[in-house]
Amino acid sequence: MKSYDVRFWKIQTRKGRRRPYIVRWVVADRAFNSPFVTSGLADSFRAKLIAAARAGEAFDTETGLPTSMHREQQSITWFEHALDYVAKKWPKAAANSRRSLVESMVAVTPALVREMRGTPSIEELRDALRWAFIPSRKEIDQPEEVIATLKWLRKASLPITSLAEHDVTGRALTACASLLDGTAAAPEYYRRRRRVFYNALRYAVNQGRLADNPLDAPALRMEWSQPEVDDAIDPRAVGNPRQIAEALIMCSYVGRRQGPRFVAFFGCMYYAMMRPAEVGRLRRADCHLPEDGWGKLILEASQPEVGKDYTDTGLLHDERGLKGRSKKTVRVVPIPPELVALLRGHIERFGVAADRRLFRSESGRPVPKSAYARLWKKARELTLTPEQLPSPLMGTPYDLRHAGVTWRLSAGVPAAQVAEWAGHSVEVLQRIYHRCMAGYDDIWIERMNRARGDSTL
């Protein structure tokens, strides 16, 4: 039933509650209330109710909502909400965040549909969802199969209010924890997807589409505790200085033209502990390369490869600040004579790009991950013995960075200083590299002996 008999009370505050701000109103002598986390959200919701009453809208006696809000709450589906959320977040999000946003929504949305005839395959659903969520693709004519899949999805998508049911929310969390083939995703993937899903639900609460965030329910939290993420580096993957020096030499023998271009690239990852995105952005002005002794690199930006769909420029790589730092942050890294020589030789042989970048493809473009990963694989095969090849030893280019950090720690450089040079927090450094420092007891004992003025125990 509908009624125009509506009265509003002042917002009440109940301290000690998770949502202490209570909006209360009465429709046809039936009281309603809606709690909120902040006073601002409560004020906004109350203002919408009052505006609807002043506009002459009838209020539903079952839900207590005006016709416009009741219709919106009843009609909006999870898919519509997800589209709205992605559109809101996209303009100010970094390219990597955009990719994570889309990947998470593509994983969750197929789980939040009802059974209907003509259900597309999971591959068809995920392909169509990428067309729906990525703004740049909306300007391209969609294939017929994508149009048909999205039409089905709009009809089959569950109402967002159904997420208040634990079994429905559990389906979404199962999707967060699964790969396309149904196998379990890595804990880090689950954690990232769940974070995006949680924020999308929080946005639904802010928009008045849900009363509470379902993921905050104690019963659901107990059932779906986040798996522990083991970030620690496998010490078997960390090469020693001799092995890495040999690998850099072997890199120069991979092909007549490609290999030599990457020797200094990989050298930066080891000797300067740089991330690949930081190496790709390194410019001549960032390098202090004296003829003798140690030099230094001044790192101020990175160029991660995220995909053309996610950058404002439509290019494969994004221009951004250092990872986890503000755009104004600069990191100064001292580099040993070995890297100074590699960089001087690289500049002398290959010059620099028009924008003064040191590393680029033969066509002058940023180096794609697939190119340097493929080249490292070949250099590794030339370096290791047949017995070593199946092992994790130097399995990926990123293991060079891990080896560079381990080398400095084993040399006795304080963890805080190594963390500063590597662009880590001390907490992250200790959590990730603690296994790599196992087996150095003899070194530490010898140093303690020297410190106490006794060469024997």
Residue pLDDT, tens place only, 207-233: 888 878 989 887 777 676 666 666 678
CA-nearest of 136, 158, 138 to 146 is: 138
37-81 residue pLDDT tens: 888 888 998 999 999 999 999 998 877 888 877 665 656 899 999
Identify whether residues 13 and 108 lie together within a single domain. Answer: no
Could you give the CA distance from residue 69 to residue 48 in angstroms, rounded to a whole number?
9
pLDDT digits (tens, 9 = 90+) for 416-446: 999 999 998 888 888 888 777 655 666 767 7
Assess whether 313 and 350 both reside in one domain.
yes
Interval 249-276 mean pLDDT: 92
Please report which confidence band the pLDDT of residue 234 belongs to, taking 50, 70 and 90 as the band edges. confident
Looking at residue 455, its pLDDT comes to: 47
pLDDT at residue 457 tops 50: no
The mean of the pLDDT values for the chain is 87
Residue 104 placed within a domain: yes
3-state DSSP call for residue 35?
Answer: strand
Structure confidence at residue 326 as a pLDDT band (50, 70, 90) = low
Q: Would you say residue 95 lies in a domain?
A: yes
Fill in the DSSP letter of residue 14: -
263, 346 in Cβ contact below 8 A?
Answer: yes
**Res. 265 pLDDT band, cuts 50 70 90:** very high
Closest CA to 60 of 32, 87, 80, 34: 32
Decide if 453 is inside a domain: no
Pair 69, 117 in one domain: no
Q: Which of 75, 109, 126 is at the close of a domain? A: 75
**What pLDDT shows up at residue 139?**
67
- Return d(Cα 51, Cα 8) in angstroms, integer: 12
Tally of CA atoms within 13 A in the half-sphere of 148 that contains its CB: 9
Residue 15 has pLDDT above 80, yes or no: yes
Say whether pTM exceeds 0.85: no
245 and 280 fall within a common domain? yes
Q: Are residues 263 and 395 in the same domain?
A: yes
Overall average pLDDT of the 347-376 stretch: 89
Same domain, 294 and 151: no
Examine the domain organization and report whether 87 and 71 are in the same domain: no
Report the domain count for the chain. 3
Q: Are residues 277 and 164 in the same domain?
A: no
Q: Are 334 and 408 in a shared domain?
A: yes
d(CA 326, CA 94): 12
Domain that holds residue 410: 235-422
In this predicted model, what pLDDT tens digit does every residue of 391-413 receive, in sequence order?
A: 999 999 999 999 999 999 888 89
Instruction: Tell whether 41 and 170 lie within a shared domain.
Output: no
